[in-house]
């Protein structure tokens, strides 16, 4: 019995990129950018507060709350919407959920 050490040629095309995974990665990247922007905003607020006699604790900016809620809604829609063919040939929604951050 003889064994060959040649590599097995790749005969198929690469698996298509899962559209859901692609969208989740985009949401993750946007969330990271939002976090970085909020961190810069809060650092700036702390610097401004240092000069005050009675500093107040910085609050989360409204753009963070709205941006976070929008990204969570998109993620929830990807995770929780399931479609199946209805008897009439149309699509119907089976389930939906959402997780929100409230400020």
Per-residue pLDDT tens digits for 43-95: 998 888 888 888 787 788 888 889 999 999 998 888 775 543 334 444 443 33
By the 8 A CB rule, do 63 and 69 touch? no
The predicted structure's pLDDT at residue 12: 60
Q: Where are the beta strands (DSSP E) in the chain?
A: 83-85, 91-93
Q: Examine residue 3 and state whether it is found in any structural domain, yes or no.
A: no
Q: Examine residue 1 and state whether it is found in any structural domain, yes or no.
A: no
In Å, how far are 11, 21, 48, 67, 68 from 61, measured between CA atoms? 53, 29, 15, 10, 11
- Helix, strand or coil, per DSSP, at residue 83: strand
User: What is the domain range of residue 41?
Assistant: 19-83
0.85 exceeded by pTM: no
Per the structure, the count of domains in the chain is 1
Q: Which residues make Cβ contacts (< 8 Å) with residue 87, sequence separation at least 6?
A: none
């Amino acid at each position: 019995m003889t064994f060959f050490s040649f590599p097995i040629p790749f005969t198929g095309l690469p698996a298509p990129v899962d559209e859901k995974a692609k969208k989740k990665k985009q949401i993750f990247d946007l969330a990271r950018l939002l976090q970085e922007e909020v961190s810069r905003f809060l650092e700036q607020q702390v610097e401004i507060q240092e000069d005050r006699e009675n500093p107040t604790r910085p609050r989360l900016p409204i753009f963070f709350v709205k941006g976070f809620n929008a990204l969570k809604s998109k993620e929830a829609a990807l995770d929780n919407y399931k479609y199946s063919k209805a008897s009439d040939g149309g699509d119907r929604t089976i389930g939906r959920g959402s997780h929100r951050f409230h400020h």
